[in-house]
Every structure is written in C-alpha cells, then in structure tokens.
Amino acid sequence: MRPPLLLAAFLLMPASLAPAGEPLTAAPAYGGPLGAVEGAAPDATAGVADAAAPSWQWPLSPRPRVLRDFDPPPKPWLSGHRGVDLGAAFDGAHVTSPAAGTVSFAGVVVDRPVITIDHGNGLRSSFEPVASTLAAGSVVAAGQPVGTARPGHCPAAPCVHWGVRRGDDYVNPLQFVMDLRPSILLPLEAPP
C-alpha cells in the first residue's frame, strides 16, 4: 500500500480498531470538538456521535455570534472559560432551550440569575445571566423560551454565557449545534 493511502486508511479507521490504550490524535486532547472532557484522559470515542450529528438548537435567535470561545483550564481548579459567550440581539432577548429537558435549577448564583436544564444522558445546559419564571422540575421542549437575557456578563455587548456539562465535566456547547469535526483531505487516487 502506498504511504498516502496508508495514512488515509489510518485516519478513517474506526476508534474501535485503534491500538488499545492509545488515544487517537485527530481530536484535541482536552474539551475539544469531539467531546473530550475536562480533567479526564482523552477518549477517542467520547462525543463522536454528538459532533458528527449536531441535534440541538441555538439558544438565541437569530443565530448568535460567538463572542468568546470555550477555553477550559488545564486543571479543574484553575480559572478558565467553561462555556461560550453568545451575542444576544438585545438585553431582554428570549433564551430558548437547545434541547428537551427538565429545569434542574432556576435562581441566583452569587449575583447573576442562572437557569440549568437537565437534558438527560448526563447532559446539562446552564445559561447566565438569564432571568426565568420557570421553577425546578418544569419540563421544557426544544426551542421553548426559558428566560430572558439580562445585562452584565459581557462588558461591550448583550450576551449570554452558555455552559454544558457531561456529568461533572464541562464540554464545548458548540459541538451540539455545529459540526466541529476537523476536515480531512485525502490524496487523489493516481490514474491506473
């Protein structure tokens, strides 16, 4: 087999065929688009289905600009940005549930209104600063308004901070609304 074809075959090899105990290196090792989680060893299969087929909706309309990307710290106890800041059209914009779920928290944390939605399968979304009239236990549908954006998070523009946790680990929320898989260019087949 020619070297470029061997490389292409390796890049397309399913994770289940990779050597045991060796993570694939095609994805970032920490909280990247394939769903690696904070503080955990990279897992080549974590979140692959999520990244390959985003199935959630954007929590703001129109589709927001990402003002600040997901930038988790190298250690769980250090400071970092464990979510994304999304530009809202205006303060008071409706924030909607990106997927069906149940409100697990609605209240104030320190000095900001926060709402958290449990989507099942260990996934929870949190939004701040978002004022809501919903109470813990409220069932919400995908796309249902869950609150309104309040000022105070981004200094220069209206925005909402969106964080997603899988279990106790923060993951990149954008993997649920965008296909973040890296592009892989394969060599053209040489003519026979």
> Which pLDDT belongs to residue 76?
82
The CATH topology of domain 48-176 is Glucose Permease (Domain IIA) (2.70.70)
CA atoms within 13 A on the CB side of 8: 10
Mean pLDDT, the chain, whole residue set: 77
Structure confidence at residue 53 as a pLDDT band (50, 70, 90): low
Residue 163, exposed/middle/buried by CB under 10 A (0-12, 13-18, 19+)? Answer: buried
Collapsed DSSP state (helix, strand, coil) of residue 130 = strand
Q: How far apart are CA 159 and CA 176, in angstroms?
A: 19
Q: How far apart are CA 145 and CA 138, in angstroms?
A: 12
**Positive or negative, the Cα torsion across 135, 140, 144, 149?**
positive
Q: In this predicted model, what pLDDT tens digit does every residue of 118-130 receive, in sequence order? A: 999 999 999 999 9
> Which pLDDT belongs to residue 48?
39
> Which pLDDT belongs to residue 191?
72
pTM: 0.68
What percentage of the chain carries pLDDT values higher than 90? 54
Structure confidence at residue 147 as a pLDDT band (50, 70, 90): very high
